[in-house]
Amino acid sequence: MPTTITVVGLGSGDEDQLTLGVWRRLQEAEHRYVRTDKHPMMRLFHDNKLSYESFDTIYEQMDSFPDVYEAITTQLIENAATKGNVIYAVPGHPMVAERSVQLLRERCPEHDIELHILGGESFLDQAFTRLGFDPIEGFQLLDAAELKSSLIRTDLHTVIGQVYDEYTASDVKLSLMELLPDDHPIVIGHALGVPGEEQILTVPLYELDRTPGYGNLSLIYLPRSSDDALRNRTFERLHEIVAILRSPEGCPWDHEQTHLSIRKNFIEETYEAIEAIDNDDPDGMREEFGDVILQVMLHSQMEEEVGTFSVYDVIQSLNEKLLFRHPHVFGDTDANNAAEALANWDQMKAEEKQRKGIDVSQASQLDGIPPGLPELMKAYKLQKKAAKVGFDWDTAGPMLDKIAEELAELREAIASKDAEEQAGELGDLLFAAVNAARFIKADPEEALARTNQKFKKRFSYIEEQLRISGRTFDHTDLTEMDRYWEEAKRLP
């Protein structure tokens, strides 16, 4: 006789849900095990004097549900090996939200154990009936213990199972609040289909974990919604909108655009986003970041239309790059500080090039800097790359001497009145100043941006003082303006 484990489903609570075949197997079995005896069906066991062992003590011994299911699986396999044939009864249907059954499916073949599974009515059967929805309309079943906001689709009927207590309900609430308004109606179901015990409640989302009654037979139901306000929070909706705009039936202007025609828009939107960042303007950032994303969507949609790639390919490439370049987060490499993390990043970038067949040994150390960068930023990046191979000042003294040298050469060029030489020497001076910024770990773009803001504020003070006195710039001179300037410098 082969060693066997027979798994049977007890239904979701009411004894009328138990199939005749399962009941016969339970009556005939010599060794019965139940995952938990905290189930209405156990009354039937007691009434018919069916002996059994439950695994409830394992729940008390283990720190997590995964550990519980591992221990149950191990014990069942050991018991089957010694007793030959055992029956294992679980609530609902064995193939719905039963991790221990999945583990048995994986491990029984390794131990030469035959596994037989007999279905039963699952809690989903009662959910469809009692909550009144047809899963063919679009349906998803999620585990409260593994719930993430990214899994939730508001355009599908959603049942969240394994809501054992208020703590689990609180975790569910926090995940849902990332997508839904605080007062969005949520349905709670307790003991669906069990006479005298069933409860169906509709509560606002913020009260989800303030409602008593959660237990082994509880679930949370989110009816599907066609509310545009919810759809508009999804990436899929953005992709759909951009595709419509670019279609022949969409917006004529969007349909006519090319990569080249909206290239300048990308630059403009990026600078507007940077302005919002500089102004520490959250509302501005929210809007401008959206405009930058729109540029990515439009360019990706153009390529999707000709079949080269889609925005999902862009996302995949980005995710893979982030995973690959952060082995200290997603792999087994360590990084104790930002410098070590950056070193890992550079190392993985070099390995990426090798995988793509790029001969790193023949490449210049200065490769990889976009030619379209603003020149101040480009100078900073050139110097950083050169510094990585030791082409750098060791102390500030020689670097400051270099600035003084370049300034003296600019003075000579100005005296010579050679415009070409003057421009060249000015460039050398700016390059040396960028080197100073890098040496003191200051970004030259950011430093200049602060100075620009400071200049604008002080010059605005001059304008304000002239307006107060009823004058314009035609009625003042440099001496007076310089006096106002000095006053502005003393202001907080």
266-282 tens-digit pLDDT: 989 998 998 899 889 99
Residue 44 burial by Cβ neighbours in a 10 Å radius (0-12, 13-18, 19+): middle
pLDDT at 460 over 60: yes
CATH superfamily entry for domain 125-230 = Tetrapyrrole methylase, C-terminal domain (3.30.950.10)
pLDDT at 58 over 60: yes
Judged by average pLDDT, the poorest of 82-91, 214-223, 299-308, 336-345 is 336-345
Domain boundaries, the chain: 4-121, 125-230, 234-326, 375-442, 447-489
* Sequence-ordered list of residues with C-beta below 8 angstroms from that of 471, at least 6 positions apart, any chain: none
Picking from 139, 145, 194, 193, the residue whose alpha carbon sits closest to that of residue 169 is 145
Picking from 217, 177, 181, the residue whose alpha carbon sits closest to that of residue 91 is 217
Torsion angle of the four alpha carbons 20, 26, 29, 31, in this order, in degrees rounded to the nearest 10: 160
Q: Identify whether the C-beta of residue 133 lies closer than 8 Å to the C-beta of residue 98.
A: no
Q: pLDDT at position 207, please?
A: 95
Average pLDDT over all residues of the chain? 89
Q: pLDDT at position 166, please?
A: 93
Residue 481 C-beta-side C-alpha neighbours within 13 Å: 12
What backbone torsions phi and psi does residue 201 show, to the nearest 5 degrees? -120, 145
Q: Span 234-326: which CATH code?
A: 1.10.287.1080
Q: In the structure, what pLDDT confidence band is assigned to residue 440 with cuts at 50, 70 and 90?
A: confident
Q: pLDDT at position 181, please?
A: 92
The strand order across the sheet containing 32-34 reads: 53-54, 32-34, 85-90, 4-9, 114-118
Judged by average pLDDT, the poorest of 46-50, 192-196, 364-368 is 364-368
Give, for 370, the enclosing helix (H) or strand (E): none
Residue 392 is encoded by which pair of tokens? Answer: 């750098």
DSSP class of residue 255? Answer: H
Q: Span 4-121: which CATH code?
A: 3.40.1010.10
Q: pLDDT at position 345, please?
A: 67
What is the C-alpha to C-alpha distance for residues 35 and 33, in angstroms, rounded to an integer? 7
Q: Identify whether the C-beta of residue 273 lies closer than 8 Å to the C-beta of residue 292.
A: yes
State the pTM of this model: 0.63
CA angle 309, 374, 365 (to 5 degrees): 75
Size (the chain), residues:
492
The answer to whether domain 234-326 and domain 375-442 are alike in fold is: yes
Query: What's the rounded mean pLDDT across residues 419-448?
Result: 89
* Sequence-ordered list of residues with C-beta below 8 angstroms from that of 424, at least 6 positions apart, any chain: 413
Q: By 3-state DSSP, what share of the chain in percent is helix, strand and coil, each rounded to 5?
A: 60, 10, 30
Q: Higher-confidence residue: 39 or 58?
A: 58
Residues forming a β-bridge with 116: 6
Picking from 135, 188, 133, 128, the residue whose alpha carbon sits closest to that of residue 164 is 188
Question: Which fold, 375-442?
Answer: Helix Hairpins (1.10.287)
134-179 tens-digit pLDDT: 999 999 999 998 899 889 999 999 999 989 899 999 999 999 999 8
Rg (CA), the chain: 35
Give, for 7, the enclosing helix (H) or strand (E): strand 4-9
Q: pLDDT at position 331, please?
A: 79
